[in-house]
Structure 1
């Protein structure tokens, strides 16, 4: 698979709505039933495809939370993912489900984050492709809340739909909060990834054509 083909397939895999109902039912002590939206934006279309991500409990009527922006690039045949924070998260709450609001998002609305870039490797897995996004070992994303530095270990897998549709697209989320003093994980995927399965596809909303971004 060429880097440009991998880039296009990864972006198509990410675009949509995901949930982990089966995982939460099987192990409710460790996994909340989450719904996650990964919606394409018009940001940075000159060299990348960028998504606004939000999540919420599927079991309760609550507003989306943990908003972040994910930028996917093909840099000299190396796929990368980079996260940004929103300067005013409340202003964009629910925008993943409101395309007219989402398209108003501008670079000035974003806040860069320290150590937020991940390298992505792709590999064949049976009759599908798995994309693995990882930070460098021992590296943590950093941001400040009320004067206190917070650390997050970032990682995800994106699993493409198989050609025969026997395997659904999925987003496995490994993110963990890290104690700044002990470097031990305190929240998130403490017992393995949240395994979210795509339930709605939004790849038609990607920049047209996606492949033009990977030249």
Structure 2
């Protein structure tokens, strides 16, 4: 299967190491200073670009969390793009793989659990030379996963361009429907780090 140029661009924009340092300095009460990694993974290669995602508080880089798999693919109708999330069955074995992608070399699809409700629809805007992508969770879908014996509901979504990655992820109280953590006041604004930056 030939993967579209739009899909390839989305994968390129998302791949790398990111920081929200400027935002955390400007609004420290609302935004934790994070490091975010999106590393390519050689699974679902027949029809997708797939990334391993992980993040860490800048003061605890040795304690990364929120390990997940992000599968970028054409929708079955082949008209639009979609983003499917998966959860690792054993997250502790992958801890640190964002900064050390060698850990990811032996992964297979069986190492991950599909999160059926965590499926984003992607809209694409063509800019002069690039794209702007916006991935949103339709209102009729609920993104949930199990963690420490509890069911956790999250609202997920992002925007991606060559210079910036905006994360709208936040935790949802399933009783009240209100956000409890994450991008409560607006998106986390990440910029991609060059390899020679700290």
Normalised TM-score (structure 1): 0.83
Q: Equivalents in 2 of 1:61, 1:199: separation in Å?
A: 15
The DSSP-based 3-state class of the residue aligned with 1:13 is: helix
* Structure 1 residue 65: Cα displacement: 0.6
Of 121-130 and 12-21, more deviation after overlay is shown by 121-130
Where in structure 1 do 4 or more consecutive aligned residues deviate above 6 Å? none
Q: Equivalents in 1 of 2:194, 2:63: separation in Å?
A: 19
- Counterpart among 122, 125, 135 of residue 123 in structure 1: 125
Q: 1:4·1:77 contact (CA, 8 Å) conserved in 2?
A: no
Equivalence for 1:136 = 138
> Unpaired segments of 5 or more residues in structure 2?
none
Q: Cα distance 1:125–1:39, how it changes in 2: closer, same or farther (>3 A)?
A: same
Q: Equivalents in 1 of 2:56, 2:128: separation in Å?
A: 31
Equivalence for 2:90 = 88
Q: Equivalents in 2 of 1:47, 1:181: separation in Å?
A: 38
Q: Cα distance 1:114–1:142, how it changes in 2: closer, same or farther (>3 A)?
A: farther
* Structure 1 residue 143: Cα displacement: 1.6
Q: Cα distance 1:137–1:126, how it changes in 2: closer, same or farther (>3 A)?
A: farther
Q: Equivalents in 1 of 2:49, 2:106: separation in Å?
A: 15
Which is bigger in relative contact order (C-alpha 8 A, separation at least 6)?
1
* Structure 1 residue 127: Cα displacement: 6.0
* Structure 1 residue 159: Cα displacement: 1.1
Of 38-47 and 110-119, more deviation after overlay is shown by 110-119
> Unpaired segments of 5 or more residues in structure 1?
161-168, 202-215
Q: Deviations over 1:64-104 (max 9, x none)?
A: 11111000002313110010001100001111222322111
Q: Over aligned residue pairs, what C-alpha RMSD do you find? A: 1.7
Of 68-77 and 92-101, more deviation after overlay is shown by 92-101
* Structure 1 residue 128: Cα displacement: 4.4
